[in-house]
Amino acid sequence: MSVAKNLLAGRIVEDGLFPYPRLREKDREVLGMVLEAIDQFLAPHREDFKRWDREAAQPEEFIQGLRDLGLFGLIIPEEHGGLGLSNAGYARILSQTSTHDSSVSLTIGAHSSIGMKGIMLLGNAPQRARYFPKLASGEMIAAFCLTEPAAGSDAASIRTRAEKAADGGWILNGEKIWITNGGIADVYTVFARTPSDAGKITAFIVEAAWPGVSHGNHEDKMGIRASSTTTVSFVDVKVPAENVLDSEGKGFKVAMAILNNGRTGLGGGAVGGMKTLIGLSAQQAQARKQFGEPIANYELIREKIAQMTLECFAAESVVWMVAHYIDSGMDDYSVEAAISKVYASEAIQRAAYEALQIAAGTGFMRDAPYEQAARDSRILSIFEGTNEVLRLYIALSGLKDLGKSFGELKAAVDDIFNHPIKGFGVLADYAEKRLTHATGVGRDKILGKIPAPLREATATFEKYTVELAKAADYLLRKYGKSIAGRQHMLKRVADMTIDLFVGLCVLSRATALAAEPGDAGRQAVAIANAFARQAKRRLANNVRRIERNEDEEMDLLANFILDQGRYPWDVIQ
Ligand SMILES: Cc1cc2nc3c(=O)[nH]c(=O)nc-3n(C[C@H](O)[C@H](O)[C@H](O)COP(=O)(O)OP(=O)(O)OC[C@H]3O[C@@H](n4cnc5c(N)ncnc54)[C@H](O)[C@@H]3O)c2cc1C
């Protein structure tokens, strides 16, 4: 039962949020050993990371070091030579590597989060036995090949084709672009159109060493420059039948399963990057004196440090909640995973901006780490699903499920005169929902478990869960299916869902930490309260703007500029 989708129906699913999950004991043990080894290996490379960023390269000896540390086998089961970490444990490792360098996290992450994830989630026993040991040791590095020149967000429109060969295998032709690890990978998960069922997509495991497979030059990128990004081409590549992942025609489902499952890796990386920025900012603010005092004494600087910390805590809370959903075998977590990616990727970009602002002129100099952090974090809202497309996904997935219940309701209401009992359950559910909207009944459901200092925050999330349900209800009735094209409205629904789900994760974590002695527990409660107050302002604004907004004016303005193709005003005229 998706916690986020339920929010749109006015329900807070307590069991999906409380108590805040803890890392598995087995993960803790592995992490205890690996995290220290990671720090020992990466810390001495600090200057190298800067140089490799400029040179846009990650030397082979360094990648060998990553292999030696076992960083390519993090999630591969132990029986195949990996560390067998859960999603939560894996995200924690990427968080650690990201405190040192984003490109390192990307090399490891593209391998585990997306490159070999298809084999992990949907590979059959022979595929796992054949590839896992080499993927675990890093003898084989993996990459994920979906994007093409004309197929970015619209991944279903790919043109790479695989035709059936006489021997039952496949002949693969096409070109993929911007493939992370493209230049260093030995095995690619490739998505291609296949002839059956009107050109459906099929996923293949393709080895780089096979004739007809090649890659282009290392792309000259804005950020994460040391990580390998290249085109990958396939010319009459013979792919054996046994290298189809899952089954023929199921490739789109495979791609989405991989991307949904991999999002907490990206989120974990963002959290690690934020932790480094917070540490740098705290030190810089204490060290830098202006007007006779450390700038740390000024409220405008303190506000930035507090806000970065609050958002890092929120990102951490949501990422590990979602990792727990995945690890506990929940089926329907794609909306929550999208929320964690959108929130964490935007939080680190705000943190990179503010950390650079605290360092000011020093921050603008390439010697300092801030400009690289600003460049490196920029990719996070672009790849693995742009944040625009993910916002649409969050809103539409929630509304679609709600729409279904309206459909059921309609049938039930039609039916109720003939079969009163059959229609009763749905109608009762509906009535309860209406009652909750009208009176706030149901508020005490989770309130009882929350410590007193967090009750006001709880009340905020409960109130706006009802407001979100009302908004969703209103939008579905007003627009019906055409809501899919109302992107201004969908963004509001998505932003409300994000604020509520992230806020509830923060609340759950703060509830768990509140009981702990010392400042950290007290500060976690303060963070939850501050998050709730900030979220309340955003939520109220989004609710208001469902009915009163400037959408029409903005659309007309966009039309005008798109027609002109330029900004038309000038003070000279
Ligand atoms: C450094 C880097 C590494 C990458 N690594 C990989 C990889 O390993 N494997 C891989 O397969 N791909 C990879 N990609 C590709 C990446 O996933 C795509 O860039 C991404 O999916 C977006 O596609 P696009 O860039 O073509 O943007 P487009 O899809 O063209 O989007 C352009 C803009 O339009 C918006 N937009 C698109 N559709 C809609 C819509 N329906 N409604 C509203 N707005 C919309 C987008 O949000 C965006 O702002 C990588 C890209 C980069 C830059």
- For each successive 10 residues of the chain (573 residues), what is the average pLDDT? 91 92 96 96 98 97 98 98 97 98 98 98 98 98 98 96 96 98 98 84 98 98 98 98 96 96 96 98 98 98 98 98 97 97 98 98 97 98 97 95 70 48 48 53 60 94 93 90 95 98 97 91 97 98 97 98 97 93
- Whether 335 and 397 have beta carbons less than 8 Å apart is answered as yes
Q: How far is the CA of 383 from the centre of ligand 1 (A)?
A: 6
**Best substitution site from 389, 488, 489, 490 to test ligand 1's pocket, by max atoms within 8 Å of Cβ?**
389
List % helix, strand, coil for the chain (3-state, nearest 5). 65, 10, 25
Separation in Å, CA 456 to CA 189, 261, 356, 452, 482: 48, 34, 34, 8, 37
Q: Where are the alpha helices (DSSP H) in 1-124?
A: 3-7, 25-42, 46-55, 60-68, 87-98, 102-109, 117-122
The ligand 1 atom nearest the CA atom of 223: 1
Is residue 320 within 6 Å of ligand 1 at its C-beta?
Answer: no
Q: Collapsing DSSP states into helix, strand and coil, what is residue 237?
A: strand
CA dist., res. 395 & res. 399, Å (int): 6
CA dist., res. 383 & res. 477, Å (int): 34
Q: Where are the alpha helices (DSSP H) in 288-386?
A: 299-327, 334-364, 370-377
Q: How far is the CA of 324 from the centre of ligand 1 (A)?
A: 27
Is residue 382 within 6 Å of ligand 1 at its C-beta?
Answer: yes
The ligand 1 atom nearest the CA atom of 147: 11
Closest CA to 306 of 531, 101, 485: 531
CA dist., res. 317 & res. 21, Å (int): 10
Residue bearing tokens 């060493």: 209
The residues facing 543 across adjacent strands are none
Closest CA to 280 of 296, 298, 299, 297: 296
Residue bearing tokens 């991999």: 262
Give one word for 10, left, alpha or beta, with left for phi > 0 and alpha for psi -120 to 50.
left
pLDDT at 416: 44
Is residue 330 within 6 Å of ligand 1 at its C-beta?
Answer: no
Closest CA to 336 of 381, 397, 404, 280: 397
Is residue 514 within 6 Å of ligand 1 at its C-beta?
Answer: no
Determine which residue's CA is closest to atom 52 belonging to ligand 1: 178
Q: Where are the alpha helices (DSSP H) in 480-518?
A: 487-514
Residue bearing tokens 């009915």: 547
pLDDT at 398: 93
Determine which residue's CA is closest to atom 6 belonging to ligand 1: 179
Determine which residue's CA is closest to atom 48 belonging to ligand 1: 386
Tokens representing 301 are 């600087």
Is residue 494 within 6 Å of ligand 1 at its C-beta?
Answer: no
Q: Half-sphere exposure of residue 260, counting CA atoms within 13 Å on the CB side?
A: 18
pLDDT at 562: 98
CA dist., res. 185 & res. 178, Å (int): 13
